[in-house]
Amino acid sequence: MPVIDKYRLEPGAWVTTADREQVQHAIACAHAAFRRGPPSPYERGAVLERAAAMVEARLDDFVRTMQMEAGFTASDASGEVRRCIQTLKLSAEEARRLAGEVVPMAGRRSRRAASASRCACPWAWWWPSRPSIRR
């Protein structure tokens, strides 16, 4: 699916979508990961470091897309991408330090994360309970 450059009115980037088979495969992988249990702190850190490396490898693509979509200057877009990379790297380090503390939350009966994103985002435990932050 093309992303139209709002200044030139022509495709500037492409967004791909998953077909039914890819979605089913992703769901099966998510279920298998859930059955295996939570990843170790080392594994969480490794996933986040790989994500940082993947973003860093495509830095120029992200900068061009941000310039096309939002009108960012090259400097501003590069700063945003570098901040993303730094956040992933810092999160990887922090994920390795997590010692399995349980943060009590009203209404929660389970000690398990509610979604796969919780293993990647060390601070995500508070997100669902604060809807006002999402606005």
Residue 134 lies in a domain: no
Residue 63 lies in a domain: yes
Same domain? 87 vs 45: yes
Domain that holds residue 32: 1-37
Asked if the model's pLDDT at residue 72 lies above 70, the reply is yes
Whether residue 114 contacts residue 127, with contact meaning beta carbons closer than 8 Å, is answered with no
Q: Residue range 17-41: average pLDDT? A: 93
Reported in sequence order, the residue ranges of the chain that DSSP labels E, i.e. its strands, are 2-5, 10-14
Q: Pick the range with the lowest mean pLDDT from 65-69, 104-108, 119-123.
A: 119-123
What is the C-alpha separation between 135 and 119, in angstroms, rounded? Answer: 24
Asked if the model's pLDDT at residue 125 lies above 50, the reply is no
Residue 115: the pLDDT is 52
Residue 127: the pLDDT is 45
Asked if the model's pLDDT at residue 99 lies above 80, the reply is no
Q: Which of 99, 114, 130 is the last residue of a domain?
A: 99
Residue 135: the pLDDT is 37
Same domain? 50 vs 88: yes
Residue 118 lies in a domain: no
Residue 101: the pLDDT is 60
Q: Residue range 35-58: average pLDDT? A: 94
- Cα 132 to the center of its chain, rounded Å: 21
Same domain? 47 vs 92: yes
If one counts the domains in the chain, the total is: 2
The string of DSSP letters for 42-58 reads: HHHHHHHHHHHHHHHHT
Q: Pick the range with the lowest mean pLDDT from 4-13, 48-57, 80-89, 103-112.
A: 103-112
Same domain? 51 vs 26: no
Residue 53 lies in a domain: yes
Better-scored residue on pLDDT, 107 or 121: 107
What is the C-alpha separation between 38 and 2, in angstroms, rounded? Answer: 37
Same domain? 32 vs 69: no
Same domain? 54 vs 85: yes
Same domain? 27 vs 74: no
Residue 59 lies in a domain: yes
Q: Give this prediction's pTM.
A: 0.67
